[in-house]
Structure 1
């Protein structure tokens, strides 16, 4: 299984697949988008999610038939028990498309025994792509992504909030966390597209992310891109954050540029 462990080959396959899915989505939003309810949490799925996922699955499994896959819409596929698992988010930001907001991404990650080794995020609206292989830094639209400069946080930091779809509107912890962040931050972004928040953090556009009960499919790829750009990620208790295993309930974490992590942890710990 030479190709299964050749991460540069896997990066090329994933980037090409993400860009092809992006072109499919870009063409699709110009027409009528079919929207259907998904689950009991107010989430939705569109025909573009399904078409993008079909394309991504076809390409990934053709290139890596011995790998397992966890896809957003169709669940587990591929070879059960493989040490290598792809996570596919065919359209991160479906709810944005549903309301006509052009803010969404395509994401893929390749994990080995639950640890992300490759992450790819493609933004169809701008045509930009970011990718990272563990230990090799981040490639952006213009080449290697340099470590972001320290950005003065005048008036408070700019943060992003990510929560899982299973979090109810009146969730006491979520409400308290958001209220606490609003008091401390200059601005708190709620993008409904977590992968784009990770890329913004990696570039240095924002100072941190707080995630509460987040899902797994759109987590490892963005997480690795941010980490390879020098972002520090930890659980709410301050221990190093690890998204493994690739199953189970939501994850809580804080992610911030170097030197800012303690401020984020303090904000989280202040919530009763």
Structure 2
């Protein structure tokens, strides 16, 4: 992919960067890739590293003064930079490594534009910070969240910093959950884009300060711009002191899930 013009707005830079990373991920899919151990059962592949390099090259060409925080390469750029890009070049590495096409490429300008690319459908979900859309085959469509599917993605991957007070797996045993919803576990933050797009009713995960996390920043930005209620598992706004994440298609769904979480954690 050619580098974007420096005159493009931040959303188009995010889209171009996500496209660039997705192209690498798609091209390298199916190859035998060595696993680069990161400890605690986590690993990266050459696809993660090369996709991040492609994303960084695009952002540098368009925004040379901005800082960069990447899942694989860490922090780059001036520490005092007012703008920082958060990048997860391949969210769902384990899925990818075993030949499952459920992954996302996440690019977000902190407190600004963001894009989430699905390398295998060609879709890029994006926001300029105010509205949320999906681009597919050159056509942009505004995202419209809805709880109609009743599908709720629950992230069961560790770590679980808020256990034993909150365990996502416990929510699945709540009698009200199975009466109202159907659980899904895709193990990628592509599910957050699906909430914004109306393909999921909600997404729930444990964790701390997820709005500043390279894995979650782009998806959170999409959901917020689409009008989805997004809070921590304790109902507080996402931020440095928030715990976990509940992103829902509408206020009713969010309220139901929060009541279930509260009842399990105080039962």
Q: TM-score, normalised by structure 1?
A: 0.83
Taking the TM superposition and a 5 Å limit, the aligned residue runs for 1:178-197 are 178-183=169-174, 184-185=177-178, 186-194=181-189, 196-197=190-191
Partner residue in 2 for 1:122? 117
Equivalent pairs counted in the alignment come to: 251
Distance between the aligned counterparts of 1:174 and 1:125, measured in 2?
A: 34
Taking the TM superposition and a 5 Å limit, the aligned residue runs for 1:72-91 are 72-91=71-90
- SS state at 2:172 partner: helix
Q: Contact between 2:134 and 2:143, CA under 8 Å: does it hold in 1? A: no
Taking the TM superposition and a 5 Å limit, the aligned residue runs for 1:84-163 are 84-111=83-110, 116-141=111-136, 142-149=139-146, 151=148, 157-162=150-155
Whether 1:257 aligns to 2:256 is no
Distance between the aligned counterparts of 2:52 and 2:229, measured in 1?
A: 30
Give, in angstroms, the shift of residue 72 of structure 1: 0.2
Distance between the aligned counterparts of 2:79 and 2:158, measured in 1?
A: 26
Distance between the aligned counterparts of 1:70 and 1:269, measured in 2?
A: 34
Check 1:251–1:99 CA distance in 2 against 1; reply closer, same or farther (3 A cut). Answer: farther
Check 1:76–1:165 CA distance in 2 against 1; reply closer, same or farther (3 A cut). Answer: farther
Distance between the aligned counterparts of 2:242 and 2:25, measured in 1?
A: 28
Give, in angstroms, the shift of residue 66 of structure 1: 1.4
Moved over 4 A (4+): none
Give, in angstroms, the shift of residue 36 of structure 1: 2.5
Q: Contact between 2:152 and 2:200, CA under 8 Å: does it hold in 1? A: yes
- SS state at 1:213 partner: strand
Distance between the aligned counterparts of 1:164 and 1:109, measured in 2?
A: 22
Q: Contact between 2:70 and 2:87, CA under 8 Å: does it hold in 1? A: yes
Q: Contact between 1:65 and 1:79, CA under 8 Å: does it hold in 2? A: no
Q: Deviations over 1:59-98 (max 9, x none)?
A: 2122212111110011111121212110011111101112
| Runs of 5+ consecutive residues of structure 1 not aligned to the other structure | none
Q: TM-score, normalised by structure 2?
A: 0.84
- SS state at 2:200 partner: coil
Give, in angstroms, the shift of residue 163 of structure 1: 5.5
Partner residue in 2 for 1:213? 207
Give, in angstroms, the shift of residue 255 of structure 1: 1.3
Check 1:250–1:162 CA distance in 2 against 1; reply closer, same or farther (3 A cut). Answer: farther
Partner residue in 2 for 1:226? 223
Q: How large is the RMSD of aligned CA atoms in angstroms?
A: 2.5
Distance between the aligned counterparts of 1:94 and 1:35, measured in 2?
A: 10
Give, in angstroms, the shift of residue 264 of structure 1: 1.2
Check 1:86–1:164 CA distance in 2 against 1; reply closer, same or farther (3 A cut). Answer: farther
Distance between the aligned counterparts of 1:253 and 1:149, measured in 2?
A: 18
